[in-house]
Structure 1
Amino acid sequence: MPARPRALGALVALFTAGYLAPYLLPTLVGRLSAGLGLSSAQAGLIGSVLLLGSSCAGFALASSVERIGPRGAARLGLACMALGYGTAAASASLSPVVAGAVLGGFGSGTATAVAASGISGRPDPHRAATLGLLTVSATAGGLYLTLPHLGTGHALPFAAIAAAALLVWPLTGWLPGGTAALRRTPVGPLPSRRAGAVLAASILCWSMAQNALWGVSGRIGLTQAGLSEVALGLVFAVALGAGLAGVTAAGALGPRLGRAAPIGVGTALIAGCVVLSAAADDAGSFATGEILWNALYPVVLSHLLGLAATLDPRGRWAVLVGSASSLGVACGPVTGSLLSEAVGYPGMGLALGALLLVVAAPMTGVARRGAFSAGPLGSGAGVRPLSEEVSPSGV
């Protein structure tokens, strides 16, 4: 039947549109700083506000997507993206840019919430999430290669995200309305509360640690590793290619290795890459750390998103966990700046690596589904095995 492939295509497109702003955050922040005469901290703060808007949308809509209707919620999010990012692109004044970034961020979070909720209802949410990561990585990579040839300034990346929202709009017709979805499956209490809460708190720290390094990676490469701007751009381009390879590998492997090993071992390896990149004092070690890190990141993230999807087939935990990740991303640049100023780049890397190792344990515990209950906090209710197939929810 064509409805399900079309619905999956719409969900992947929404996923791509929703995640595009966070993927383009480095160029957004850099161009805001240059184009509006802002300091790096001020431009980074606008980026953080954008991501906070996205996170707030996810927390607000976690249990409301089906009530509003996937189609209506998706169109609301895409409209906010087009209007908000379009306003930011068209303005050269600070206030409209900030207002547009906040509205656009809320729209991005809304689109991501609909996508996460729908992907959770697929028979294989891990593969659907991996396809979304592959698509957004390829789209962002194409924009990173294209935008520098089209000009400078913040208008281009903001306009590109707004255009992506408009391009995805027609596909929302393939999504179901709220009334039909609610008739098919009655709304129940949020399941797997302990596992979900642990996973959400852990992924917040997981995302914050990595984006703390990402926020200062450019400065590490230029000032500590001694790279030129051209060489630094080449390293980031190769790292993005490694990320695409990582997403492809994650899709090919699927859940064959389970989720505990990729999440636990992958996070430990990422911690090592973070330490290596932060301590790098030459081009080779810096490039090695950045490229390996970007190859591993999507593999672990796809399993985390797939794990969140299994906790609730209605997608509420997938939305909440994704929003917690966005909140961690938003807090990352500030954390990296404060840590690097306090203890230097190598000390920052050690602190972030240690944090990643700490959160690897509870995330692996949730993946193994033996350490936490699925019922309300403290209930002791059992958890269904991860291998149990989630029934589709009509998308």
Structure 2
Amino acid sequence: MKQHLREIDSRISVLGACALGTAGVKVFALLPLLLGTIAEHLQLDDAATGMVASLYYIAYFVVTLTSVIWIRRANWRVLSMAGGGLMVLGLAGSATFSESYEGVILGMMLSGLGAAVVYALSVTLVSDMTDKDRRFAIKLIPEQIIPAALMFMLPVLVIDDFGLKGMLYVLALVIFVLALLSSGIPVRGRALTPDKTTKKAAGASVFIGLGALVVFFAGFAGLWAFTERLAHDALDPVVVGQLLALGLVSSAAGPFVAAIVGDRWGRITPIITGVVLSLISMLLLVGQITTFKFGLLMAVFPAAYYFSLAYLFGIISDADISGRFASLIASALALGAAVGPGVFGVILNGNGHNAAYLFAAIMMALGALMFIWMERRLERAHLVSFEGQIEHCPHAEISK
């Protein structure tokens, strides 16, 4: 048993979790660039382009939603290879049939199925580790850095010369390498045997946490999806693109700091710090948008948000006493990404910029408050459980 726990906490397992997580978010992170390339290649209108994204999200969401059934029953190495294989097959299939709209869609959906498997697996693997807050932060770093690097390199080195087909083949190759890096993960997770006090306190809390994550991520995703459009009329498009790339790099800085900080100040203080900085930075959007203000927003907002996100994952993981529901983090993120931009866009069109910013701020603040309540509840449960163990300890009776 101890050997298996060491295997879960080993560096090769952390590397595998990072590789799986990065593979799982790869297409999602590059979707704006990918959709633009698909639309230009096939001469699609906005509705047809949007359908590619919608069907990818649907496939991703359905598989992650069913992960509670298979995540603890299947061999994790088999799942890793199967998920990576589906992604490679889907992307390569889209490249092969890139002249067909239906072929591209089917390939993207197949890729979405595989992405859901590997990302749900990465979340569950980290949830089983002992220092989960730091490990979640570490996992988030390559999930931001590698897509940011590809965002820089693909347009210049691949898309200009090889178009959509070349881009899809390169993504398939990257996924293949990531799948190989994940081959050292354990075949199964740890056996969880929660005490009665913790079980009673956690219970439905994991579902409250997943709901809070939907709310929290919807606020962020709504604003993030429209950042380019918000600055488009005020700034040069080239400058906007450069600053958005800065935002992708900045989003890796937050988890990097969280990995260093760990749990030395608990979870509530880092969550409050990250959310407050995120909300304050949003004030830079009020009034006339300048290059300095937008650049400062891209430097602070993603970093602060992703700094707090690692701790939210840890709370859900602690509340997941069965070990089966942490994989639904992927579903919560997908649902938040689907809901947030839609609502933000409706408010933006009907009520203006400030009302849309207020929506994003309220969603993020509400989600954070729900997580703080959960963490307080879990802390009390752990304290009661610890005191109960002391009372039943033979040495405690002797000392009395």
Instruction: Name the TM-score, length of structure 1 as normaliser.
Output: 0.85
Secondary structure of 1:316's counterpart equals coil
- Partner deviation per Cα, 1:102-135 (whole Å, 9 max, x = no partner): 2211211110111111111111112221121111
Q: Which amino acid aligns with 2:232?
A: L
The residue that corresponds to 1:149 in the other structure is: 156
Of 300, 305, 310, 2:308 maps to 300
Partners of 1:386 and 1:309 in 2: how far apart?
A: 19
Are residues 1:336 and 2:366 paired? no
**What is the CA deviation profile of residues 20-52 of structure 1, one whole-angstrom value per residue up to 9, with x for unaligned ones?**
222212212322333332334543442243233
Corresponding position of 2:88? 82
Q: Which residue of 1 aligns with 2:356?
A: 348
After superposition, the Cα gap between the structure-2 partners of 1:360 and 1:56, relative to the gap in structure 1 and judged at 3 Å, is: same
Q: What does 1:215-364 correspond to in 2, within 5 Å?
A: 215-223=225-233, 226-277=234-285, 280-312=288-320, 315-364=323-372
The 10-residue stretch of structure 1 (9-18 or 338-347) with the greater mean CA deviation from structure 2: 338-347
159, 162, 174: which one aligns with 2:172: 162
In 2: Cα distance, 1:283 partner to 1:228 partner:
9
* 1:72 equivalent in structure 2: 78
What is residue 398 of structure 2 aligned with on the other side?
Answer: none
Cα contact 2:247–2:302 (8 A) shared by 1? yes
What is the identity, as a one-letter code, of the residue corresponding to 2:135? A
> Percent same amino acid at aligned positions?
23
Aligned counterpart, 2:390? none
Distance of aligned partners of 1:386 and 1:305 in 2 relative to their CA distance in 1, 3 Å threshold = farther
For the residues of structure 2 that align with 1:119 and 1:325, how far apart are their CA atoms?
A: 17
Residue 120 of structure 1 contacts residue 313 of structure 1 at CA under 8 Å; is this kept in 2?
A: no
Match of 2:127 in 1: 120
The CA deviation at 1:204 is 0.6
Does the residue aligned with 2:325 lie in a helix, a strand or coil? helix
Query: Structure 2 regions of 5+ residues with no counterpart?
Result: 387-400
Q: Which amino acid aligns with 2:248?
A: L
Query: Equivalent residue of 2:55, what SS?
Result: helix
Amino acid in the other structure paired with 2:129: R
State the Cα distance separating 1:385 from its structure 2 match: 5.6
**Residues 263-292 of structure 1: per-residue CA shift (max 9 Å, x gap):** 234224323434533755322222222321
In the alignment, which of 361, 378, 383 is matched to residue 381 of structure 2? 383
Cα distance between partner residues in 1 of 2:40 and 2:288: 27
Q: Which residue of 2 aligns with 1:139?
A: 146
- CA distance, structure 2, for counterparts of residue 339 and residue 157 of structure 1: 35
Is 1:56 matched up with 2:62? yes
Letter in structure 2 aligned against 1:115: S
Task: Verify the 8 A CA contact 1:311 1:317 in the aligned structure 2.
Answer: no
Query: 1:136-189: per-residue Cα shift (whole Å, max 9, x none)?
Result: 2221121011111122444444334322221133344423335xx58x668999
Mark the CA change 1:386 to 1:18 in structure 2 (over 3 Å): closer, same or farther.
Answer: farther
Aligned to 1:101: 108
Q: State the distance in 2 between where 1:220 and 1:69 align.
A: 46
Contact 1:36 / 1:92 at 8 angstroms: preserved in 2?
Answer: yes
Question: Paired residue for 1:16, among 22, 25, 29?
Answer: 22
Unaligned runs of 5+ in 1: 372-381, 389-395
CA distance in 2, matches of 1:49, 1:331: 15
Moved more, 114-123 or 87-96: 87-96
Which segment drifts farther, 89-98 or 253-262? 89-98
> Aligned partner of 2:20: which letter?
L
Change (3 A) 1:297 1:49: farther
Shift of residue 261, structure 1, vs aligned partner: 2.1
More off after superposition, 194-203 vs 326-335: 326-335
In structure 2, the residue corresponding to 1:8 is in which secondary structure? helix
Contact 2:206 2:320 in 1 (8 A): no
Q: Does 1:210 align with 2:210?
A: no
Partner residue, 1:199: 209
Q: Secondary structure at the match of 1:369?
A: helix
Determine if contact 2:216/2:366 at 8 Å carries over to the other structure: no
2: CA distance, partners of 1:95 / 1:235? 34
Structure 2 contact 254–307 (Cα < 8 Å) conserved: yes
User: Normalising by structure 2, what TM-score?
Assistant: 0.84
Question: Cα–Cα, structure 1 residues 273 and 29, in superposed 2: closer, same or farther, change >3 Å?
Answer: farther
Could you tell me which amino acid in structure 1 is paired with residue 382 of structure 2? R
Q: Do the aligned partners of residues 312 and 355 (structure 1) sit closer, same or farther apart at CA in structure 2, a change above 3 Å counting?
A: closer
Q: 127-136 or 165-174, which moves further after superposition?
A: 165-174
Aligned CA distance change for structure 1 residues 295 and 171 (closer, same or farther; 3 Å): closer
User: In structure 1, what is the Cα distance between the partners aligned to 2:92 and 2:384?
Assistant: 42
Tell whether the 8 Å contact from 1:279 to 1:346 is kept in structure 2 after alignment: no
1:58-97: CA deviation from partner (whole Å, max 9, x where unpaired): 1111242121121122222111111112222331322122
Assess if the C-alpha contact under 8 Å between 1:240 and 1:294 holds in 2: yes
CA distance in 2, matches of 1:386, 1:240: 42
